[in-house]
Structure 1
Amino acid sequence: MPSKGSRSSSKKAKKTGSNVFDMFTQKQVAEFKEGFQVMDRDRDGVINKVDLRGVFDEVGRIATDKELDDMLNEAGGPLNFTTLLHMFASRSSGESDDDDVVAKAFRAFEEEGGGVIDADKFRVALMAFGDKFTSQEVDEAFEQFDIDDDNKIDSDALVGMLCASGKEDTEEAA
């Protein structure tokens, strides 16, 4: 008689054809789930406007009712965990897109005129916003960066170090 297996011992998501869970690693699914749980303030399994507003308030970003409504309307229905995964899957089309997002995130910290990031301001931002880094984590990351005598980080070098494609096209085209 064939063994039916136990769900509790299974370490993989069930594979059933085009299951959205198959598009991500177990680690990614776990990270998305953790993020979902942080956003689902009332723990009802659905992210609603009150939940979203709480997240935005926590990170110090003002969001209008229209912005929140627009975000929720992208889901096309109740925003549960599976719907959120489908949204991530539909926007994830390869590493170059991921690299572009990473590059743009770091470019947002560039000083006016571009090309460099103030190391002190960047350190504060890493420890104050989003998934806050500890002082030790920032120190460890900064050990990997080339910081010049003016306390500036070359943003091209940073993007090149963190992205598979090196420099992204937006700066080269300028």
Structure 2
Amino acid sequence: MSSQKASRKAKKKQGGKQRAQRATSNVFSMFDQSQIQEFKEAFTMIDANRDGFVDLDDLKDTYASLGTDPEETILQAFKVLDPDNKGVLHKDYLADMMQTQADRFSRDEVLQMFNISPIDAAGNLDYKSLCYIVTHGQEEEQA
């Protein structure tokens, strides 16, 4: 038994070393210099204001330069869930789809979306208005 325990300890120790190596590895070592240069150029193209970060304005500028309307892109994604083209989706259905399909949203992310969403008394979310709010911002309520 003691030889089995020693063998397990050796495997754990070896496994630990492998994890440590993975944790400290440099992702860029997987690419050659020309590929890294292409990544840098692509980032520079997307970072339109040259601040070192890709933010919402940079993405809007990128979409515009590609001839893609971000509002229309988001609207088309919602229309996939609305085959009858009603322009609204029940919030429970939408929450379920967003938390269980593809790139899943967390409960907090869904609640954040609902906080800015126009939802009627029946629980229907007007996704066309939501697309406008996401791409143009929410109007401040005047007191």
| Greater helix content | 2
The TM-score with structure 1 as length reference comes to 0.42
